Structure 1
Amino acid sequence: MFTGIIEEIGHVVRVEREGANLQLYVKCSFANELKVDQSVAHNGVCLTVVAIEGDTYQVTAIAETLRKTHLGDLQVGDEVNLERGMLLGTRLDGHIVQGHIDQIGTCVAVKEEGGSTRFTFTYDPSLGNVVIEKGSVTVNGVSLTVVDAGKDCFSIAVIPYTLTHTNLHNLKVGSVVNLEFDVIGKYVARLVSH
């Protein structure tokens, strides 16, 4: 379980294919604090640490994860948003994030708005995911508030701090992102559909 508040931007230092799996090696300042079997969110995707060496750790993305996310596109040098699992008994600053990506989306607009940057994303509504204005959504692991919502698109406004301290600063028109929709909204949508 995560909050969507990014702890650090990590850097991909090695990528290896192993059958249908992808081995990712990520360098970050807290690698020496991790333990094997610990969960870390990578651009919103919960992956298990399988090895640690110095300031770099290894995680494995299986075929199912690669089908539903953009992790298969990561290359050496890419930045990834990192968040360790939530600690019980502390503030929940973002929203409840599972680290289970629902689908990918595509950035279709980036607009500076005098103090914030507005990003607009499209997604496939046939998968049953929904967003509502002022609701929560996770983009590449970042907990954000929906500004505008349409049938197959939504916009978010990002403050300068978040832009600087996440990999959202790399987004441009055409960028593919990982989306996790609000868990409460998903359950409500499922109940209503039955």
Structure 2
Amino acid sequence: MWSGCAPWRRPRHGKDSIMFTGIIEAQSKVLMSEKRGNNRAVHIAKPAGWTLEPGQSISIDGICSTVEAAGGSFFEVEFMHETLKKTTAGFFKKGTTVNLERPLKVGGRLDGHFVLGHVDARCPVSKVPLRTAAKELAVRVPAELSRLIVPRGSVTFNGVALTVVKCDRSVCTVALIPYTLSKTNLGTLRPDDMVNVEVDVIARYVAARRRS
């Protein structure tokens, strides 16, 4: 699925940028969201201290996106029609909180797991974490994805790298630590909210190999 991420290029500062890790660097707010033909232009508040340039890739709630323009206090991205249908980008409005991550640099430290930013599906929440009990988040996933998700394996929700607790034919459950609840938008989810799901890229390639 095309997710709006720029083709590979060598950034102006001379270092190669590759995929993401699923470790969220910042949360930010959508400042503006408006239709632009069949697409949607979105302005997002730029985190303090960040330098962003047009053409740079950035993960927004797990969607690999391209910076179209960058001002002093915000940056702009544009989502194509296909991305709007397949991800939560179609629901972005003024005030929406999103998770942000810049690409991993070659030679950089990999604290999470390999995340491409190519969302596999937009899926509804079936169970949200309780602050006073087991902090588990459950998401209903289609069968074609659930077979690629295994206990103690990896999955990404809204760009956050997570470890799978259990997964049956329709529901994938992960455990969230307090840090993740406070530093990402997963802590504000409610039942039936939609999240962007990306399965582990290695599982995807293994499944494709077995089919060939």
Contact 2:146 2:169 in 1 (8 A): no
5+ residue gaps in structure 2?
Answer: 1-18
Q: How does 1:1-194 map to 2 (within 5 A)?
A: 1-30=19-48, 33-112=51-130, 117-126=135-144, 130-194=148-212
Aligned AA for 2:198?
Answer: E
Report the Cα distance in structure 1 between the residues aligned to 2:105 and 2:93, rounded to whole angstroms.
Answer: 30
Task: Give deviations 1:100-136, integer Å, cap 9, x for gaps.
Answer: 1011111101243757510111111246862000000
Report the Cα distance in structure 1 between the residues aligned to 2:197 and 2:41, rounded to whole angstroms.
Answer: 21
Aligned AA for 1:180?
Answer: E
Aligned AA for 2:95?
Answer: G
Task: Give deviations 1:67-113, integer Å, cap 9, x for gaps.
Answer: 11011011100100000011111211000000110111111012437
Between the two proteins, what is the percent identity of the paired residues?
39
Aligned AA for 2:98?
Answer: V
Contact 1:31 1:57 in 2 (8 A): no
Instruction: Look up the SS of the partner of 1:66 in the other structure.
Output: helix
Contact 2:153 2:164 in 1 (8 A): yes
Aligned AA for 1:43?
Answer: D
Aligned residues: 194
Aligned AA for 1:18?
Answer: R
Deviation at 1:32, TM superposition (A): 5.0
Task: Give deviations 1:21-61, integer Å, cap 9, x for gaps.
Answer: 01010003257501110000000001100111111000010
Report the Cα distance in structure 2 between the residues aligned to 1:63 and 1:38, rounded to whole angstroms.
Answer: 21
5+ residue gaps in structure 1?
Answer: none
